[in-house]
């Protein structure tokens, strides 16, 4: 949720339909065709099952009502169209209401491999398939409710749990490590990078997650791994905000990227 973006959200017509250009539909086609070519060997089973339920079109950007029909039946969730970037308050409120925010623009050809801000491919392909899973859906709703009650500083630390699970999480399976994070699954470059295991792989401990710095503009130097999907539900039974406060007292762990960048991140967190 950065402050600026070069993209503009698409607005639906009176019937709730968003018109995408032929070029935009072609971007979707390129992205989904490329990701589908390797997700069977990289994504977790729950993602693949959810993707089968969504039955996404290969030749055009899907309409949100098509996605909502599947999500509502599976877990009671739906999508909510939003501008490219929204504030923490709106973000947490939507999640708490079981509405997943979907930016309605799609990335440009120049940013096909990786995009810092979420576009509709990231939101639909990366996240909505996982929202058909009860454990993932419950965790996301619980996270939204926590965020609504948190103060500004707590939200900065709490955001890391979302980043290292929903966005860039891995999970253990009978086939080894698999991807659940939408930030990985919607990025061809990051999917390939993560599956080559070039980053540090760490069992997920929420206190360590809350203390781990990250950057949005690089391939992640570290990924955290869930034991299984039930692990997400177990996290909701912990006093996560007490762990957030403990993390604030203890401070951040050493960054696994450029220390100069970390100093900028710390300054930004202090003024939020």
**pLDDT beyond 90 at 216:** no
Decide if 116 is inside a domain.
yes
The pLDDT of residue 197 is: 66
Structural domain boundaries enclosing 110: 22-271
The structure tokens listed for 152 are 């500004």
Q: How many domains, in total, are found in the chain?
A: 1
In this prediction, residue 192 carries a pLDDT of 80
113 lies in a domain? yes
Report the CATH number that the domain containing residue 141 is assigned in CATH. 1.10.800.10
Burial group, residue 8, by CB count within 10 angstroms (0-12, 13-18, 19+): exposed
Asked whether residue 185 is assigned to any structural domain, the reply reads yes
Q: Is residue 4 part of a domain?
A: no
Q: Decide if 13 is inside a domain.
A: no
Nearest to 161 by CA among 176, 179, 129, 139: 139
The string of pLDDT tens digits covering residues 1-47 is 344 578 888 999 999 899 999 999 999 999 999 999 988 889 999 99
Lowest-pLDDT range of 69-73, 92-96, 134-138, 217-221: 217-221
Q: Is 3 contained in some domain?
A: no
What is the C-alpha to C-alpha distance for residues 247 and 53, in angstroms, rounded to an integer?
39
Considering the domain boundaries, does residue 9 fall inside one? no
Global confidence as pTM: 0.90
Where does the pLDDT of residue 266 fall: very low under 50, low under 70, confident under 90, or very high at 90 and above?
A: very low
Q: Where are the beta strands (DSSP E) in 41-117?
A: 78-82, 99-103
């Amino acid at each position: 949720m950065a402050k600026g973006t070069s993209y503009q959200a698409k607005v639906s017509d009176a019937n709730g339909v968003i018109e995408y250009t032929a070029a935009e539909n072609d971007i979707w086609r390129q992205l989904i065709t490329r990701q589908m070519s390797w997700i069977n060997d990289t994504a977790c089973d729950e993602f693949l099952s959810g993707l089968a339920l969504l039955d996404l079109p290969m030749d055009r950007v899907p309409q949100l009502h098509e996605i909502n029909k599947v999500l509502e039946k599976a877990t009671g969730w739906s999508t909510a169209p939003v501008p490219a970037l929204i504030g923490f308050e709106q973000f947490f409120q939507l999640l708490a209401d079981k509405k997943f925010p979907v930016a309605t623009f799609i990335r440009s050809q120049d940013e096909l491999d990786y995009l810092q801000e979420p576009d509709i491919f990231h939101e639909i392909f990366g996240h909505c398939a996982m929202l058909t899973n009860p454990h993932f859906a419950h965790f996301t709703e619980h996270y939204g409710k926590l965020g609504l009650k948190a103060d500004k500083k707590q939200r900065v630390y709490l955001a890391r749990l979302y980043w290292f699970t929903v966005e860039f999480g891995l999970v253990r399976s009978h086939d080894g490590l698999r991807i659940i994070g939408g930030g990985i699954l919607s990025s061809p470059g990051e999917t390939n990078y993560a599956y080559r295991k070039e980053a540090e792989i760490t069992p997920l401990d929420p206190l360590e997650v809350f203390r781990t710095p990250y950057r949005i503009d690089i391939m992640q130097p570290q990924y955290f791994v869930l034991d299984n999907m039930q692990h997400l539900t177990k996290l909701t039974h912990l006093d996560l905000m007490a762990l957030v406060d403990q993390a604030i007292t203890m401070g951040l762990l050493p960054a696994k990227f450029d220390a100069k960048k970390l100093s900028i991140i710390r300054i930004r967190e202090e003024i939020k």
